[in-house]
Chains A and B, each alone.
Chain A
Amino acid sequence: MAQFATNTTLPRYLRDEQDKIEKIARAHGLDFFPVIFEMLSYDQMNEIAAYGGFPNRYPHWRYGMEYERLSKSYEYGLSKIYEMVINNNPSYAYLLEGNSLTDQKLVMCHVFGHVDFFKNNFTFRTTDLDAGEHIADPIRRADGYEPNRRWVDKMANHGSAVRRIVDRYGIAKVEEFIDVCLSLENLIDPWSRFVVRRRDSQPDEEPREVEVPRLRSKDYMEEFINPSEYIQEQKRKIEAERDRDKGKFPAQREQDVLLFLLENAPLERWERAILSIIRDEGYYFVPQMQTKIMNEGWASYWHSKMMTQDVCDWSEIVDYAENNAGVMATSGGRLNPYKLGVELYRNIEERWNKGQFGQEWEDCDDLDVKKNWDLRLGLGKQKVFEVRALYNDVTFIDEFLTPEFAMENKMFTFNWSNRNERFEIDTREFQAVKEKLLAQLTNFGNPFIFVEDANYENRGELLLQHDHRGVDLRSDYARETMSSLVRIWKRPVSLATQLEGKRALLRFDGKEHGVRHDAP
């Protein structure tokens, strides 16, 4: 643990506030890990924020870059970080020294919302260090669920492991390799912990006799309905296919490219250690990227509820409202995840309170009836708690974004206009808005890339497959990333993708980049 964490204690008056707010949060039904608040000066805040919330990380220039950005935007009065909380058990949250008491209270309320989300949303189960390789049922938890999420320690351990390597091989060499790993950081499989991807096949087992499916027929019609030449031909086809796949490695394509490289690439021991650290940390941040809208929305939902109902007195309410308005502002046509999230939760709460769901509601065409629809079910609170546990951003938007909501919140899609060289509003049509939003959130905005063949063309080359879903890869970055792959695989690497509607095979052999358009 960093020094400041043990040295600084929260001032008495803030401790009292914390106790008060904690009680209120519990009374509302929030269920969170213990929360430890620390008070930081702005440069400590910027430092920790640059490290992604952790007091100790491995050395790397990009933290310095982030630090410079944060400090400059603070110094020029552009923005400051009010709060920060890490998904850890116990959770650490940081308060900025010099903020007004109202602000500190707001941050505390917000933090309890986040920590409740960390503890209860299913995607965060992957950050339980004691969860095992596969999480068969992410919903079920033992009574008194107290998972091991000591990521602060784990990150610090990563830090000292990398420092040891640096002492031995020099910072330049190690940092260069970290850059290589970071350029592959997003090639992981976010759902791998919930799904069994690799089936254990028994390689020694004799393959079963090929059985060609036949159409049902009476005996005397058999020759006509299932002619034997056809059956033979099908049999040969299936066998040929099986033979082709027999020597294939990996047997099934692999989305966790990093894991595949860890297991199969010719790396030195220290390189393997670093790659493995990058991969672990990459997975740690996955749930936060999968639930950005939900997580911020939930925390904002609770800070506004608790602040206005329980915490603020009359002298504070104006300051709170002003601050809250700043956080929720949407400007320049940008979607604010805080705002979108909180409005969706409120919308869900209202709909379930009034019974605006189910078959009857869906089938109703009368706008007037719909507007005044109120069955007084009072299921809203129960529903939002359920939603925060069982959904991620994709399913959240997919299920709860309604045409009415999109219209009320003035949502639109925009596209790049080549003619005017600017982004322009495309349409406000609901289907289009929803599709675009979902497409952006899917795989948290990363392309789907798989290891297809590790012995491509029988030359030990690596073949990756990009599942093209309408948007091309950025080609200059793709080329650079290919060099990173070659650095690790040590043999030429190819990537099958599409460019401008045509299939293309990018290849890098360590010296030259090539593109072939007649790809497989």
Chain B
Amino acid sequence: MSLKIDQDHSRFRNIVRGKIRQNLRRYISQGEMLGRKGKDLVSIPIPQIDIPRFTFGDKQKGGVGQGKGDAGDPVDGGEEEGEDGAGKAGKDAGDHVLEVDITLDELADILGEELQLPDIENKGKSRIIAAKDRYTGIRRVGPESLRHFKRTYKEALRRSIATGSYDPANPVIVPQKEDKRFRSWKEDHEPVANAVIIYMMDVSGSMGDEQKEIVRIESFWIDTWLRRQYQGLESRYIIHDAVAREVDRETFFRTRESGGTMISSAYRLCASLIDEHYPATEWNIYPFHFSDGDNWSMDDTLTCIELMKKEILPKVNMFAYGQVESPYGSGQFVKDLREHFNTDERVVTSEIRDRDAVVGSIKDFLGKGK
């Protein structure tokens, strides 16, 4: 159903996205609204634009509260808006605790719009479905371990009030068999991850902090976009100098090695990862390799090209190579790749001169909708 408010809402979204009324953007405030998803607290981003007024500075203000504690104890929660029960609407004064930012999905949408990225064509591989039990309902029979304490208590309380056995002076409630309530579940089918990004990065001596920062920024955006496109997405991280090893995300961006560069080591590891874990018939595979393009020898480069042709390219959606400019590198590798894969659509190369070039390079990589 379409609502009148939709127009106001879309204008608001456009302000948040900076499409209109840029002067308002600086009032978009940061904050957090905490929600609960199962047992986890999740932060729900809700942008809030404050219209500036003559108002009091916050910190001088203080206030009046209610509850336990001695002088000097912290007041917790301070800002959260009433969350329970009958929230009264309307023009209540009262601090809004809203919040900022946009979800990653929305971020990805903006990226997509800005760069005019096409949606990715799924390779049409079969989706893997996993069954998962979800506890969603309540029933009257079940194992003790699934007893719902609060519901059971309520039933017992209700019964004892109705039968007149409830004594406010001595409010003991004894549940009987028919008071008991149990959680019940149903099976849910969820598609599991069917796309994987394999990030490879050259961490040899010639890759400096600035180069790594560029890789980090770029891989963040690639991650965000591909996550939007695929329901589940896995990422693997490989670093290499003369030898390659798989690491976790944290290490990937932090490590600094010295030593030489053998790109083939990374490609070999990549190929074996694919063989072991990601059968090409079921997975959309995206290797991304970042380097300053300064390989050890021409021989090794030829090994790389051989590996790509035989082992990697037949299995992947596309192979992306990003070359970060560094003061030490010769930048030869990208030229070699271009020479050998000139006509091969599966290989995408991009040169990233500095941070400003990241956007263009993302477009190079993702602009083909593969």
A, B in one complex: yes
Which residues on A are within 8 Å of B, measured CB to CB? 2, 43-44, 46-53, 56, 59-65, 67-70, 72-73, 76-84, 86, 106-107, 110, 171-172, 175-176, 179, 182-187, 285, 288-289, 292, 296, 314-315, 317-319, 322-323, 326-327, 329-336, 339-340, 409-416, 420, 422-428, 433, 436-437, 440, 444-447, 449, 466, 471-478, 480-481, 484
B54 to chain A, nearest CB (A): 5
Contacts of B70 in A (CB 8 A): 425
> A473's closest neighbor in chain B, by CB?
B54
Contacts between the two chains (Cβ within 8 Å), count: 282
The reply to whether A425 and B72 form a contact with Cβ atoms under 8 Å apart is yes
Which residues on B are within 8 Å of A, measured CB to CB? 1, 3-5, 7-13, 15, 20-21, 24, 33, 35-37, 42, 44, 46-78, 80-93, 96, 98, 154, 157-158, 161-162
Contacts of A176 in B (CB 8 A): 21
The reply to whether B57 and A473 form a contact with Cβ atoms under 8 Å apart is yes
A-B contact pairs, 14 of them (CB 8 A): A59-B8, A64-B10, A64-B11, A68-B13, A76-B35, A77-B36, A83-B86, A179-B51, A329-B85, A336-B66, A414-B65, A423-B75, A426-B62, A446-B54
The reply to whether A62 and B86 form a contact with Cβ atoms under 8 Å apart is no
A454 to chain B, nearest CB (A): 18
Contacts of A433 in B (CB 8 A): 64
Contacts of A475 in B (CB 8 A): 57
The reply to whether B54 and A447 form a contact with Cβ atoms under 8 Å apart is yes
Partner of A335, one of B24, B66, B161: B66
What CA separation (Å) do A427 and B53 show in the bound complex? Answer: 30
Please report whether the interface of chain B is mostly helix, strand, loop or mixed according to DSSP. loop
The reply to whether A47 and B85 form a contact with Cβ atoms under 8 Å apart is no
The reply to whether B35 and A77 form a contact with Cβ atoms under 8 Å apart is yes
The reply to whether A474 and B157 form a contact with Cβ atoms under 8 Å apart is no
The reply to whether A471 and B61 form a contact with Cβ atoms under 8 Å apart is yes
What CA separation (Å) do A49 and B157 show in the bound complex? Answer: 35
What CA separation (Å) do A416 and B67 show in the bound complex? Answer: 17
The reply to whether A110 and B86 form a contact with Cβ atoms under 8 Å apart is yes
The reply to whether A477 and B53 form a contact with Cβ atoms under 8 Å apart is yes
- A420, A424, A476 pick with most chain B CB within 10 angstroms: A424
The reply to whether B12 and A62 form a contact with Cβ atoms under 8 Å apart is yes
Q: Decide: A471 near B57, CB < 8 A? Known: A47-B3, A63-B5, A64-B5.
A: yes
What CA separation (Å) do A87 and B194 show in the bound complex? Answer: 55
Given contacts A69-B96, A81-B87, A414-B62, 15 further A-B contacts (CB under 8 A): A61-B12, A65-B12, A68-B12, A72-B33, A78-B35, A314-B161, A413-B62, A414-B64, A416-B58, A436-B63, A440-B63, A440-B64, A446-B54, A471-B60, A472-B57
The reply to whether A73 and B33 form a contact with Cβ atoms under 8 Å apart is yes
The reply to whether B1 and A425 form a contact with Cβ atoms under 8 Å apart is no
B347 to chain A, nearest CB (A): 42
Contacts of B4 in A (CB 8 A): 2, 47, 56
Contacts of B7 in A (CB 8 A): 59, 64
The reply to whether B65 and A336 form a contact with Cβ atoms under 8 Å apart is no
The reply to whether B73 and A424 form a contact with Cβ atoms under 8 Å apart is yes
Contacts of A53 in B (CB 8 A): 89-90
The reply to whether B161 and A317 form a contact with Cβ atoms under 8 Å apart is yes
What CA separation (Å) do A409 and B62 show in the bound complex? Answer: 19
> B13's closest neighbor in chain A, by CB?
A64
Partner of B60, one of A326, A416, A444: A416
What CA separation (Å) do A63 and B86 show in the bound complex? Answer: 20
What CA separation (Å) do A343 and B161 show in the bound complex? Answer: 26
> A447's closest neighbor in chain B, by CB?
B54
What CA separation (Å) do A79 and B9 show in the bound complex? Answer: 20
Q: Decide: A330 near B3, CB < 8 A? Known: A62-B12, A81-B87.
A: no
What CA separation (Å) do A186 and B70 show in the bound complex? Answer: 36
- B10, B58, B76, B87 pick with most chain A CB within 10 angstroms: B87
The reply to whether B64 and A437 form a contact with Cβ atoms under 8 Å apart is yes
What CA separation (Å) do A186 and B56 show in the bound complex? Answer: 12
Q: Decide: A322 near B154, CB < 8 A? Known: A424-B73, A477-B52.
A: yes
The reply to whether A425 and B3 form a contact with Cβ atoms under 8 Å apart is no
Across the A-B interface, give the 7 residue pairs with the lowest CB-CB distance, nearest first.
Answer: A332-B77, A64-B12, A64-B9, A64-B8, A480-B52, A326-B85, A49-B89
> B78's closest neighbor in chain A, by CB?
A423
The reply to whether B84 and A473 form a contact with Cβ atoms under 8 Å apart is no
